[in-house]
Structure 1
Amino acid sequence: MRIGGRIQAAIEVLEDIDKRHRPVADALKDWGVSHRFAGSGDRAAIGNIVYDALRHRRSAAFLMGEETARARAFGAMLLESGWTLDRLAEALEGDRFAPPPPTEAERAAVADNRLEDAAPEVRADLPDWCVAPFTTSFGDDWVAEAQAMALRPPLDLRVNVVRATRERMLRTLEEFSAASANLAPHGIRIPPIAGEGRHPNVQAEPAFQQGFFEVQDEGSQIAAELAGARPGETVLDFCAGAGGKTLALSVATQNSGRIVAHDAEKPRLAPIFDRLRRAEATNVEVVARLRELDDLKGACDLVLVDAPCTGSGTWRRRPDAKWRLSQRQLDVRLGEQRAILDQAASFVRVNGRLAYITCSVFEAENGAQVAAFLERNPGFAPVDHRALWEEHFPGRSDKARFHETAGLMLSPLKSGTDGFFFALLERRG
């Protein structure tokens, strides 16, 4: 396919998302099924345009002067790929599968509409209702933080140091421009997609199949590192999901002690079994039924709660979720988090630790949730998070935002990671 056909395909996918209010992955998959002639390179390029248009939804529409799928696709080409309307017109000319070239009205809009003059929420590419929570979380930096969440993300990996070294994996993945992560001690970063390219299929690599590394955002790796699982401890991963943090905890304990992976939603646990076998994590048990955890009540050295949340910290990877999220959905998540935290606390032994993690940047899900928990559970107290951070990442305190009550937050702008909140609480009675 030529670029014109790819842009037209992206417009069709965006129109499908608008009409049916469906996840971008589903819309792209259905388009691929009904257009089997498109090769993998075509599908990757189409996906890039669609994701860029979703990340820059408001700024692209402002630039083009319209809210249409066409305007957002064109605007994304200008904003993310650095194209001009003249270059776009030249690329579309003579291609019968391409959309019509830029109109005079569109050219006039681009000439007149300067992003620096746009409203802050437009420059931030945020829904209106998200301005307040972003302002609460980031203060004067809220626009810059939101803009960082509208950029293409890198691909992060965590080396399974039980089986390999980071230096060895850097050599293995050298062709992908792999480099050591900025903070995570076992992390590797592959740069964001450039142009019409795509991230390498690292899961096809023999080193992945042999369990030498896993795909895991650096922020998630940092959260697992700060949780501080130690060899010989009894650890409960209470919302284990597919097991990314479970595997990191197993490495931290050097495959000793006991790690129990649990999730209330049984289907979410399905991928964990292959991952455990591949990583040769021998100290992990997977438990789906809550009643089977009774022997752990008041007995765990560490309970990790990677709580269900809005996922607002992952919007650069899942930009469609930004436009589907509502205040009502946030309220539902807040109720779930309160219940899960209180439930998980019952498994922490005296002098044990409770780690609370979200991939959200909303204060209501993060610091406010922890503060409310501490009021309900006076036997718990927060650790000194600045000291904890300095212990693991000395001299890098500028990479995290520390909450005034308890916890810290990571973000694309500040730490170069997805948005994560982390709080560690000790049970003292």
Structure 2
Amino acid sequence: MRLPGRLAAAIDVLTDVEQRKRPVSEALKAWGLNNRFAGAGDRAAIGNLVYDALRRRASHAFAMGSDSPRALVLAVALRDWGETPDSLAEAFAGDNHAPDPLSPQEQAGATADLAAAPPAIRADIPEWLAPSLERAFGSDWVAEGQAMAGRPSLDLRVNALKAAPEKVLKSLARFSPQPTAIAPFGVTMPAGPRDARTPNVTTDEGYLKGWFEVQDQGSQVVSALANAREGEQVLDLCAGAGGKTLALAANMGNSGQIFAYDSDRARLAPIYDRLKRNGVRNAQVRAPHPGALDDLAGKMDRVVVDAPCTGTGTWRRRPDTKWKLTPDLVAQRQAEQAALLVEAAHYLKPGGTLAYITCSILPEENDDQVAAFLAAHPDFSSLDMAGAWRSALITDLPEGLGTPGGGLCLTPRRTNTDGFYIHLLRKGG
């Protein structure tokens, strides 16, 4: 497929997303099944167009004077991919699969200046979230939003139980991988421009042998900061598919014991095969049922709460969720987080550590939750996050990551990672 056909296909996919209110991944899969002539490169290019349109939906709509699927996709071509009205006119000419020619308004959108646009438009976020981001990032909040609208890298965590970073770098040399800047066992492949394809590393021999896992560098960093140590008893209370459980097991050198639990049996299902492939021997999966964790009460050295959240830190990867988020959903997640913090405290022994983690950048889910918990639990106190960083990552804490409430917040702009929050709390006694 040539560019005109790819643009037309992206418009169709985005129209399907908006009309049927379904996830982008499902709409792209459906398009691929219905258009089997399209090769892998075509599907990747169409996916990039759709995701890029959603990442900068607000600013592209402002520039084009419309938020229609056509306007958004053409804005990507003109404002992100380096095309011009003249180059598109030439490409569209005589192509039966091309969209209709650009209107004068669409041509003007190619060079529209956003300087006068409202801050939320320039930040590419829903307007109602502007106060939250400003509270989180101060005068930098627009720049933080803009960074959250970029493409993410593909990050891997080398499994120290089976391999060294050098071994994985060699295995994936065809993809030009690089060591990550912060995570000591991280490997990254930066996102490419335009129609660049994301490497399919899960078919690599190293992945099949358990040498590495796909995991954003930010997730690796907060897993390291949880600082699970050899010989400890650790509860991963919201284990999900097991990404952080695997990282904790590697940090512990397969010693001690990790209890991996999740209240959703379906989310937990992939963990079994992942543990086996990674060679993890110190993890015990606890399926959800009444009393599943009763025997752990008051015995854990460390409880990790990777709390369900709005996922605002993953907007680069799931930009459609940015525009579906509502105040009601934020409130629902806050209630779940507060309950999980209380539950986690129940399992800690005196002197134990609670690691509270979210993939959110909203203070309502981060500092506010910890402050409310500490107010209700005076036997808990915050740990020094700079000291925790030095202990876990053997470097000094970079400037600007600390939050007013004593936690840490990683973001694409600050750390070139997804957005993550972590706060460590010590139980007295």
Please tell me the TM-score bracket, short chain as reference. Answer: over 0.9
CA displacement, residues 245-299 of structure 1 (integer Å, 9 cap, x when unaligned): 0000000111011111000001001111111110010111111125121111000
| 2:281 corresponds to | 282
Counterparts of 1:271 and 1:254, CA distance in 2: 22
Contact 2:216 2:418 in 1 (8 A): yes
| Count of aligned residue pairs for this structure pair | 428
* Letter of the structure 2 residue corresponding to residue 266 of structure 1: R
Moved more, 310-319 or 76-85: 76-85
Tell me by how many angstroms 1:91 deviates: 1.9
| 2:205 corresponds to | 206
Counterparts of 2:89 and 2:176, CA distance in 1: 33
Counterparts of 1:170 and 1:234, CA distance in 2: 33
| 1:412 corresponds to | 412
1:351 maps to 2:373 = no
CA displacement, residues 179-238 of structure 1 (integer Å, 9 cap, x when unaligned): 000100100001113221211110000000000000000000000101110111111000
| 1:188 corresponds to | 187
Contact 2:160 2:250 in 1 (8 A): yes
Contact 1:305 1:356 in 2 (8 A): yes
* Letter of the structure 1 residue corresponding to residue 187 of structure 2: I
* Letter of the structure 2 residue corresponding to residue 159 of structure 1: V
| 1:31 corresponds to | 31
Contact 2:158 2:185 in 1 (8 A): yes
| 1:14 corresponds to | 14
* Letter of the structure 2 residue corresponding to residue 15 of structure 1: T
Tell me by how many angstroms 1:394 deviates: 5.4
1:132 maps to 2:140 = no
Partner SS state of residue 230, structure 2: coil
Instruction: List aligned pairs for 1:21-420, cutoff 5 A.
Output: 21-111=21-111, 113-289=112-288, 291-393=291-393, 396-398=396-398, 400-420=400-420
Counterparts of 1:101 and 1:168, CA distance in 2: 51
Q: Normalising by structure 2, report the TM-score.
A: 0.97
Counterparts of 1:171 and 1:425, CA distance in 2: 39
Partner SS state of residue 402, structure 1: coil
Partner SS state of residue 342, structure 1: helix
Tell me by how many angstroms 1:341 deviates: 1.0
Counterparts of 2:202 and 2:354, CA distance in 1: 32
Moved more, 373-382 or 180-189: 373-382
Counterparts of 1:424 and 1:105, CA distance in 2: 52
* Letter of the structure 2 residue corresponding to residue 68 of structure 1: S
Contact 1:385 1:406 in 2 (8 A): yes
Counterparts of 1:361 and 1:145, CA distance in 2: 10
Unmatched tracts of structure 1, length 5 or more: none
Moved more, 115-124 or 351-360: 115-124
Partner SS state of residue 353, structure 1: strand
Partner SS state of residue 293, structure 2: helix
Counterparts of 2:307 and 2:383, CA distance in 1: 19
CA displacement, residues 75-108 of structure 1 (integer Å, 9 cap, x when unaligned): 1122321222222222222111110121223223
Contact 1:398 1:414 in 2 (8 A): no
* Letter of the structure 2 residue corresponding to residue 168 of structure 1: K
Q: Percent identity between the aligned chains?
A: 49
- Summarize the Cα distance change of 1:396–1:415 in structure 2 as closer, same or farther, 3 Å threshold: farther
Tell me by how many angstroms 1:404 deviates: 2.5
- Summarize the Cα distance change of 1:396–1:47 in structure 2 as closer, same or farther, 3 Å threshold: farther
Counterparts of 2:325 and 2:95, CA distance in 1: 37
Contact 1:400 1:415 in 2 (8 A): no
Unmatched tracts of structure 2, length 5 or more: none
CA displacement, residues 4-54 of structure 1 (integer Å, 9 cap, x when unaligned): 111001001111111122211111111112222212111111000000000
Partner SS state of residue 364, structure 2: helix
Contact 2:61 2:71 in 1 (8 A): yes
Alpha-carbon RMSD: 1.3
Contact 2:238 2:262 in 1 (8 A): yes
Contact 2:184 2:393 in 1 (8 A): no
